[in-house]
Structure 1
Amino acid sequence: MTNSRTPAFSRRGILTTGMGLGAVGVLSACGGSSATDTPTATGDGGKGGYDGPKVDLAFWNGFTGGDGAFMKKLVDQFNGEYPNIAVSMRVMQWSDYYTTLPTAVTADKGPDIAVMHVDSVATNAARKVIQPLDDVASALELSADDFAPVPWEAGIYNDVRYAIPLDVHPLGFFYNKTLMETAGLDPDSPPLDLDSYMDALDKLKGKGIQGHWASPHLFTGGLSMQSLIAQFGGSMYSEGAKEATYNSEEGVKAFTWFQDLIKQGYSPAKVDQDADFLALQNGQNAFNWNGIWSLNTLAEKTDLQWGVSRLPNIGGKNAAWAGSHQFVLPTQKTPDANKDQASRVFLNWISQHSLEWAKGGQVPARNSVRESAEFQALTGQAELAKQIDDLVFLPAVAGIGDAGAEFDKAFNEIVLGQKDVKSTLDGAVERANKILEANVKKYG
């Protein structure tokens, strides 16, 4: 997370998650069904460590940003503590990762351990790219009591656990304190409800400051919209994602509020990708809803007076979009009991030591780490962790990313093109529902 254009969890990361979902379909076409009978990762070890023969473990992920150094540090520390386990980490762009992994698994050349974005887990589970982990969680004595509920539940697909959460990375509210003072606002008391937020925007506007730049791009305007829909009491999809539902009354209210930021002069009409975040840093934009990955970028701006808080509650309900990195164990055609156990030890150890990972701009999913005094000392991360029970994930349904493109297109048209909200959403939902229906046949 060294800069706004290449954050550890980047626009590229989530955008290519959708690409990866489609690419996973290649697995079945390439003979992925041969993995159907692969046994799950079972056994009776892991929690107490590993004392078997030396094993080499391959660990794949897409941590090409600043967070990669934090994970590398953890891997090196683990290797130092476990001389009979040698973990090698392969890092690649997420777009490459989500296409390379299924192919490698099919060829029985996949890694022993991997990390996935939470919205990729269901699709890869449906395609047998990753193994069920109920027995792994049982062997490690992990339960819902050990993790925040939202990311823990998100690792379940069709009543079977396929992932163990490492972190969450939510949106937060970043504000320029200097601009707030210019408008006569208290820089240490950011507006966190609808009335105070609109009052602040009016005061900023009175000083010639467009206070909230409405980005028409997925990062981070589209993620803000997903948060707003939930805040207004709506949802992106029905239960089980049988239908898209963001054209509901609640969805229309959320889109209208965001579109009105432009109509009422609180935002420029056309905001380029990342321009809203750069404007915050350059003293042009007072308020910016952005990801936790922005913390380290802003910390480098020593001459910038800024603050961070949970997202303002605009619609009446606390809610914030979030992503999550989750540990998965790729399917092995020729399982190795020693590697199975060593892999469990590794993922459990990283989870227990995820304070170091949090420093890269994450909120640990593990309660013991998140609730520790050491984590609370990471003030930005700790502030955004207050949203842990209000986070919004996409449903754990195979192929969910395939339908997301219709939402993204509608969002862009409504914000950038000022198209009619209801009719644009109705058209997007109609197209998305056809994709969701096709996915039932595609993924089972």
Structure 2
Amino acid sequence: MRRTSLPGRAPSRRRVLGGMAALAALAATGAVGTAGCAAPAAVGRGRTRVRFWHLYGGGDGVNMQTMLDAYRAAHPEIALEASTLQWGAPYYTKLGMAGAGGRAPEVAALHLARLPGFGPGRLLDPFDLDLLAEHGVTERDFPADLWRRGRIGGAQYAVPLDTHPMVLYYNTDICAEAGLLGPDGRLKPIRGTEEFTAALRAAGKVTGKPGLVVETLGAGTIGPWRLFSTFYSQTGGTLLNEDATRITVDDAKALDVLRFMRRLTEEGLAHRRVDYNGTVGVFGGGETAFLLNGEWEVSTFANLDLPFSMTRVPALFGRPNAQADSHCFVLPHQRDRGGETNEAAHAFVAWMLKNTVEWAKGGHVPAYLPVLEEPAYLDLEPQSEYRSVIDDVALDPPAWFAGSASTMWIELGAVFSGVLTGSRTPRGALEEAKARLRELLDTPDPLGGQA
């Protein structure tokens, strides 16, 4: 089973940094050109061409294709050319090269947490907010934090499409037998670590197996990082200061989280050794009551006719936060951006945002707030059950090495994996994590930092 919002095989640190450095050199010289990337203002019988690059494959790729087909049907005057590129580092390298040469597509997808390291002002062009407003899209239509993260140096370089947070999947049959469901058939509220562990024990008595499954190991594993990030953000702790120049880890809070993570596997409440695909198989096979994972596997489990639902990650450490990233729209740098193609690009982004009910079917929570009130969205179950998380997402700090498919995810995922499997102590993992953060902070941004 292929995960659509997480990397399949992680690149090595050397490969990532080397590739970024090479890209930076090309950006500085402007020597990069992409064959066939130059776009005329119009093609065919007066049709304006808009090219859209994205990295959506698998389940959400199907949803995206449905949206693109609907856009084409509604806009015969636009020649939309959509290209699906390989997820992760290959995608970002190609997109960066196109922007460095000024011969990029009109619109592209980006993970919001990767924006600071992607050279806004050099590899990306800012949005014209007046143009977006002409098509009914303004700042007030988005969660304040997500919109703010797209703004750098006083200009809006990213417009959020969604957020894709960690959520709690639960098997409704097992939870019913364990007495964990309310009269409405939904999971009873869980608050704090003790209530959560009690729920896991009750579920384990039904199945005879650990009550929870979460990714703990594997090549390029990042599940342990996402688990730590979720719980640590609930404590109010931070990794870095606001401008991502200094480590601000609260050791006491981080150790509380890491000791709880160790407790889950040490006490047999969660499976100790399981990779990403294994977690999908264990939960999909009805072997466990709970799965902590991104919401993008909803289609996988729905296709299995599994008795399940989804809810927000419980507030175990105070705040109701959940680790997340956000897909967003960006305008890759073009030497001659403007005119009909630029206007059409803004109109395309606005239309896509207003039509994200289809996108939500794949699990993602639309960032365009009016969609969250549409009856068609509210009728989506279980997708609409966790929509309130849009106000409590915990994005990575604004550092060049953070965000989806980033070096930080891979490095810290490997460190925290050891806590879950038992090969590292919580304190040892914390010290190693801080050491790796220091090394990343000491490594210059290959693209020269924020604009």
TM-score (norm 1): 0.87
Which sits farther off after the overlay, 325-334 or 271-280?
Answer: 271-280
Which sits farther off after the overlay, 356-365 or 267-276?
Answer: 267-276
Partner of 2:104: 110
Partners in 2 of 1:333 and 1:386 — Cα distance?
40
Contact 2:213 2:283 in 1 (8 A): no
Q: How does 1:29-428 map to 2 (within 5 A)?
A: 29-34=25-30, 53-95=46-88, 96-126=90-120, 128-133=122-127, 135=129, 137=132, 140=135, 142-186=137-181, 188-194=186-192, 195-207=194-206, 208-217=208-217, 218-246=221-249, 248-302=251-305, 304-400=306-402, 401-428=406-433
Partners in 1 of 2:189 and 2:62 — Cα distance?
35
Q: Which amino acid aligns with 2:22?
A: V
SS in 2 for 1:379: coil
Q: How does 1:19-38 map to 2 (within 5 A)?
A: 23-34=19-30
Cα 1:441–1:75 change in 2 (3 A) is closer
Partners in 1 of 2:79 and 2:446 — Cα distance?
41
Contact 1:162 1:328 in 2 (8 A): yes
Which sits farther off after the overlay, 321-330 or 414-423?
Answer: 414-423
Partner of 2:41: none
Cα 1:92–1:416 change in 2 (3 A) is same
Listed as ranges, the gaps of 5+ residues in structure 2 are 32-44
Contact 2:165 2:323 in 1 (8 A): yes
Partners in 1 of 2:289 and 2:254 — Cα distance?
26
Q: How far did residue 327 of structure 1 move?
A: 0.3
Partners in 2 of 1:16 and 1:367 — Cα distance?
35
Contact 1:24 1:102 in 2 (8 A): no
Deviations 1:55-113 (A, max 9, x none): 21111001121222222222222223223211111111113311211222334432111
Q: Which amino acid aligns with 1:82?
A: H
Deviations 1:315-361 (A, max 9, x none): 11111111211000110023341111111111111111111221232
Contact 2:324 2:393 in 1 (8 A): yes
SS in 2 for 1:386: helix
1:443 to 422, 428, 448: 448
Deviations 1:250-290 (A, max 9, x none): 11111111110111121233223332232122222211111
Q: How far did residue 20 of structure 1 move?
A: 6.7
Contact 1:214 1:415 in 2 (8 A): no
Partners in 2 of 1:281 and 1:99 — Cα distance?
35
Cα 1:16–1:333 change in 2 (3 A) is farther
Cα 1:321–1:130 change in 2 (3 A) is same
SS in 2 for 1:387: helix
Cα 1:256–1:404 change in 2 (3 A) is same
Q: Which amino acid aligns with 2:382?
A: G
Q: Which amino acid aligns with 2:118?
A: N
Deviations 1:392-443 (A, max 9, x none): 1012333334444432222122222341212321232123123213336862
Which sits farther off after the overlay, 79-88 or 103-112?
Answer: 103-112
Q: How far did residue 192 of structure 1 move?
A: 2.0
Partners in 2 of 1:129 and 1:339 — Cα distance?
18
Contact 1:175 1:308 in 2 (8 A): yes
Listed as ranges, the gaps of 5+ residues in structure 1 are 36-51
Which sits farther off after the overlay, 393-402 or 370-379?
Answer: 393-402
Identical aligned pairs, as a percentage?
26
Partners in 1 of 2:115 and 2:381 — Cα distance?
30
Cα 1:154–1:31 change in 2 (3 A) is closer
Partners in 1 of 2:214 and 2:68 — Cα distance?
40
Partners in 1 of 2:375 and 2:214 — Cα distance?
36
TM-score (norm 2): 0.85
Runs (4+) of structure 1 exceeding 6 A deviation are: 16-22
Partners in 1 of 2:7 and 2:188 — Cα distance?
26
SS in 1 for 2:230: helix
Contact 2:255 2:427 in 1 (8 A): yes
Which sits farther off after the overlay, 195-204 or 339-348?
Answer: 195-204
Partners in 2 of 1:395 and 1:23 — Cα distance?
22
How well do the aligned residues superpose, as a CA RMSD in angstroms? Answer: 2.7
Deviations 1:125-145 (A, max 9, x none): 347211122545566564331
